[in-house]
Chain A
Amino acid sequence: MNHWIIAPIILPGILAPFIVLAARFHMPIQRVLSIGGVLAIMAISAGLAWQASDGTITLYQLGDWASPFGIGLVADRLSTVMVLLTSILAFFVLLFAIGSGWDEKGRHFHALYQFQLMGIIGAFLTGDLFNLFVFFEVLLIASYGLMIHSGGNERMRAGVQYVMFNLLGSTLFLFALGAIYAETGTLNMADLAQRVALIDPDATVGIRVAAVLLLLVFAIKAALVPLHFWLPSSYAEAPGPVAALFAIMTKVGAYCIIRVYTLVFPLNLEATANLHGTWLLPAALISLSVGMVGVLGAKKLDRLVAYSVIGSMGMVMVAVSKFTPDSIAAALYYMVHSTLAAGSLFLIVDLVSTSRKNLQLTPQPPIAGATMTAGLFFAAAIAMTGMPPLSGFLGKLMVLEAAFSTPYAVWSWSVVLISSFIAVVGFSRAGSMVFWKARSVEVDDETKTQSPATLSYVAVGGLLTMLVLLTVFAGPIYAYMADTSAQLFAPEAYISTVLETPGKLSPLQEGN
């Protein structure tokens, strides 16, 4: 059995306690361990992605127990792509956290960071719904710590709201799991896919309730309107690098929706057939509009970026809610783009805030290193709003093209296009207010502050370079995403790999 699949979960899980116990008073050692860990995760996940790229689905049975009795980790194209994306984002964000000195402003930043990665990667790799819940809790409890890193009243208040909202989300998740277990008697995703299809069409009440509850849980994670209220203040008040890492957390919700609603509750399942079109699409369109109007209406730069995350999640979900192979491929491409763009925007907000009194969008004296920061903001804003030449434009084209032949295409097109325009206005207003109007303010020389560290710029530049690469290699990447989505729409291979791999207690060995 190939043990590499569990490595990206185990490695941060071992590193984090090691950092707490052995290196808690030695910041340089913590940094080296943390960077080394993330680099190792990146290498392993690149290997896993390479392994999965030819369409192989690899199963890792913990304790060699056969599914559905044991918990399995499954590495297919979608999981490995998401893990690779997580490790890339985590690497640059970690560089920024070190460069900007955020990791020294409170305790245990690096340990929590590793636990956070463990939770996110575990959620992407697991093949069991209850295990998904456990990994959600791992990533959440680490995120609670990271969110209130270095304290402060505003941040603590936002932290309380964030924790409460997510505790309610977890409770809802458990209700959904209980309902699913009561109806089907299993929580293994592959096993569920088979059993849900067998449910008598006259007795689908329970499973429909469960499907809706589960969708609500994932929609909370993906910050779909009207379940988005936790996002703006917690992302805005979280430390810059933490908010940038959180950019992947909304994608965990989107990933789960894609996974569960292609595998367990597919479009052709009669019981839940109306769920996607009736509920998901309108919610996605409303999130897109609310997010982009929020960009225009925001009074502070950090809130503006937080709302743009809601908007871009809306865009992802507009594509996801069609549930055609094309639209899922477009959604995956846009998801990668939106993670990188949102991550770099949050880092840039942090660059701005280092030498600005606050982040209100009012004219204030120029910030230190304004030229460089303004250039980066310009590029990241172009990416986020989806203007040419960066990948946001291509991603949006793919989403629009995938939506063209589906019902409600008029709605999708008009909302996407109008909201993009609003976002462009919002971002250009914010950019000119922060970077250009600053020239009109009298500067007193005493308030000169140090410009941000080079490493911070390297980190932001790295994320933007990834966006450029995503644009330049859009063809091959889109082809890969199309393969990924083709794999999702032919779940038989996934199901047979998970259920037919022999292990302890498997039916094949029962005679022994």
Chain B
Amino acid sequence: MEFLVASAIGILTASGIYLTLRLRTFPVIIGIALLTYAVNVFLFASGRLTIGSPPVLRDGVTSYADPLPQALVLTAIVISFGMTAVIVMISLGSYLGSDDDHVDDPLDDAAATDAEDAQ
């Protein structure tokens, strides 16, 4: 199971990093989303992997799952969900405004200046 979880985190992270290095906003956002999935699984695993153990105290149970990472993951999921929504909205606004969804600055600085002058 350790191998399964570890490789899942690894593959998610690798594809996330690859996608965030792309030029356009859509792949970058997907990449960030994959990275947040990876980090959520990672946080979850930071409390050690256990199967079928309860997180809260119970009579007659000797092995427990660590409840704290679950709470941390919950917070992280909520925050990353909200942040993804924000980035989607801002990128959409930027794309609709400038008709261009490149992440990087335009190559030709002079062209941008001319556009400013024309306004």
Contact = CB atoms under 8 A, between A and B. Distances in A.
Interface of A: 130, 134, 137, 140-141, 144, 148, 151-154, 156-157, 159-161, 163-164, 167-168, 170-171, 174-175, 177-179, 181-182, 185, 233, 299, 357-358, 360
Interface residues of B, number: 42
Contact of B20 (A148, A154, A164): A164
Contact of B32 (A144, A161, A167, A182): A167
B13 to A, nearest CB: 9
B21 to A, nearest CB: 11
B68 A181 contact: yes
B70 to A, nearest CB: 12
13 contacts: A134-B79, A152-B97, A163-B86, A163-B90, A164-B28, A164-B32, A167-B83, A170-B79, A171-B32, A177-B72, A181-B72, A182-B47, A182-B48
Main secondary structure of the interface of A (DSSP, over half): helix
A160 B20 CA distance: 13
Interface in B39-98: 39-40, 42-43, 45-48, 66, 68-69, 72, 75-76, 79-80, 82-84, 86-87, 90-91, 93-94, 97-98
B98 A157 contact: yes
B14 interface: no
A170 B83 contact: yes
Interface of B: 20, 25, 28-29, 32, 35-36, 39-40, 42-43, 45-48, 66, 68-69, 72, 75-76, 79-80, 82-84, 86-87, 90-91, 93-94, 97-98, 103-105, 109, 112-113, 116-117
B109 to A, nearest CB: 8
Contacts, number: 103
A171 B83 CA distance: 11
Given A130-B72, A137-B79, A170-B80, 5 more contacts: A160-B91, A163-B87, A164-B87, A178-B46, A360-B113
Q: Which of A161, A178, A299 has the most CB of B within 10 A?
A: A178
B97 A156 contact: yes
Nearest to B93: A156
Contacts of B48: 182
B117 to A, nearest CB: 7
Closest 8 CB pairs of A and B: A156-B94, A182-B46, A153-B98, A178-B46, A174-B39, A178-B43, A181-B46, A171-B35
B117 A178 contact: no
